[in-house]
Amino acid sequence: MRTPVRSQKLFARARQILPGGVDSPVRAFQAVGGSPLFIRRASGATIEDVDGNRFIDYVMSWGPLIHGHAPRGLVKAIAGAARLGTSFGAPSPLEHELGERVRALIPSMERVRFVSSGTEAAMSAARVARAFTGRDKIVKFAGCYHGHADGFLVKAGSGATTLGVPTSPGVARPVAADTLLARYNDLASVDALCEAQAGAIAAVIVEPIAGNMGLVSPTEGFLQGLRTLTTRHGILLVFDEVISGFRASAGGAQSIFGITPDLTCLGKIIGGGLPVGAYGGRADIMEMVAPAGPVYQAGTLSGNPLAMTAGLWSLKRLTPRLYKDLARRGSLLAAGLADAARAAGVRLQVNAFASMVTPFFTSSPVRDYDSALAANTAAYSAFFRGMLARGVYPPPSQFEAWFLSAAHTDRHVEQTVTAARAAMKAVSRTI
């Protein structure tokens, strides 16, 4: 790997205008040391930085690129749409076409509203849940991340945890007071809140497959238990499927686990790499959203034709074969990372779910935020640097998921495991 001199110069310049030199904190490499690599281009499973270094990419734009970077057909479709206009600020057929396709894949979404990010989706879902129930409090799980709307920045995962600000300054105390915290995979913690706050909770929002503590899967009965508890207490169940939507199955986590939430939030894959979020669910709830109802929510670029075109292209290619290949390679990668750690005598727990993987540098199983936080982040940082030096680009944080795409081949996974064997040996010398 060439010394990333150009990236370092660009980072110094970027910090003069962009806070921290980036437009999203987790990109800044603060958790793993060094300065971030500036990317010039990407194709398939690889990215190339401005110094000409090429890497096998497992960030994949944090999840949207299930078909890989810049598939030829997607680029052609976006270019074609751009020639017809980039944004109208008026309805276009593309919006309800994508909405109908989302509903065909996720039938619980009887109505869909497009927005431009997962943050907007989760923020709007919380608002309509409060309006529908007439209640104010929202239950979230420590370590889960639902974007950066004020109420969700309480013990939030992803970049908030990476940077050590899981509860962000600037969130007004009354807003934070309406956010109640439960423990992931711990139904008793939710039950206790439902009892203590009877009649006050509008919704429970959950990542049905958690990706923002690193990957943590739901334990047997957890999601069903949430469905039972929320129904019993007249609380809406909101699945934040911004990561899991279309990731492990075309129907999202809700189709894998057979749970019907009242509302669902989507992002990432739904936009094929362009800015698209969506929220939706039961018609009787969603018909409260303006202009059908009084709950206001709006967006200049919501449903814009380029993003809708990219979303349609992306969702039209979610085939059973794609998921079979992704799951097989995800297992290959998970097993390879575990073997590499064993060979080096490094304590590692590898959590995997289909094409999402997280290697946790810890000896005990990771099932919630506390067990995730027990991971040795210094070891992860050493591993990350060792992988970068060997042409592999993992997420620059222990508390994120690795993503595979249709463009990742068995050869890519083999190269990654070979790099991991060497990187793990280096880690074993530092811990």
The two three-digit tokens of residue 158, written as one number: 């992803």
380 is catalytic: no
**Residue selected from 51, 57, 95, 240 as contacting ligand KE4 according to rule CB under 6 A:** 240
24 contributes a contact to ligand KE4 by CB under 6 A: yes
Work out how close the CB of 143 gets to ligand KE4 at its nearest, in angstroms, rounded to a whole number.
11
d(CA 359, CA 293): 45
233 lies in the binding site for ligand KE4 (CB under 6 A): no
CA distance 14 to 203: 40
Q: Are 248 and 354 in contact (CB under 8 A)?
A: yes
- Considering the candidates 137, 155, 268, 380, report the single residue annotated as catalytic: 268
Residue 155 lies near ligand KE4 (rule: CB under 6 A): no
Among 122, 204, 250, 337, binds ligand KE4 (CB under 6 A): 122
Question: How far apart (Å, rounded) are the C-alpha atoms in residues 118 and 238?
Answer: 13
Does 242 participate in binding ligand KE4 (rule CB under 6 A)?
yes
Binding ligand KE4 (rule: CB under 6 A), the pick from 29, 58, 145, 323 is: 145
Sheet holding 402-403, edge to edge: 349-353, 356-360, 402-403
**Nearest CA-CA partner of 144 in 202, 184, 105:** 184
Q: Give, in degrees to the nearest 5, the angle at Cα 196 between 191 and 200.
A: 100
Alpha helices in 349-397 (DSSP H): 369-373, 377-389
Contact call for residue 133 and ligand KE4 (CB under 6 A): no
Residue 159 CB, nearest approach to ligand KE4 (Å): 5
CA distance 365 to 53: 35
Distance CA 368, CA 143 (A): 7
With binding defined as CB under 6 A, does residue 30 bind ligand KE4?
Answer: no
Contact between 57 and ligand KE4 per CB under 6 A = no
Which residue of 30, 46, 53, 119 would you call a contact of ligand KE4, by CB under 6 A? 119
Radius of gyration of the chain (CA): 21
Annotated catalytic residue: which of 58, 145, 184, 369? 145
Alpha carbons 120 and 277: distance in angstroms, whole number: 7
Decide if 240 is catalytic: yes
Pattern 156-195, binding to ligand KE4, x per CB under 6 A?
--xx------------------------------------
Residues in contact with ligand KE4, shown as a per-residue x/- string from 84 to 103 under the rule CB under 6 A = --------------------
Total residues binding ligand KE4 (CB under 6 A): 21
Choice between 277 and 305, CB closer to ligand KE4: 277
> Nearest 5 degrees, angle CA 365-CA 145-CA 404?
65
Concerning whether 145 is annotated as a catalytic residue, the answer is yes
Under the binding rule (CB under 6 A), the answer on residue 400 touching ligand KE4 is yes
- Our finding on whether 18 is near ligand KE4 (CB under 6 A) is no
Q: Is 357 in the site for ligand KE4 (CB under 6 A)?
A: no
Q: From 32-40, 113-121, 298-306, 352-360, give the range in contact with ligand KE4 by CB under 6 A.
A: 113-121
- Examine residue 267 and tell whether it contacts ligand KE4 (CB under 6 A): yes
| Greatest CA separation for the chain | 62
| Range 63-86 burial, b when 16+ CB lie within 10 A, else e | bbbbbbbebeebeebbeebeeeee
Contact between 383 and ligand KE4 by CB under 6 A: the answer reads: no
Q: What is the DSSP string of 189-238?
A: HHHHHHHHTTTTEEEEEE-SSB-SSS-BPPPTTHHHHHHHHHHHTTPEEE
Catalytic residues: 145, 240, 268
Instruction: List interacting residues with ligand KE4 (CB under 6 A).
Output: 24, 26, 62, 117-119, 122, 145-147, 158-159, 207, 211-212, 240, 242-243, 267, 277, 400
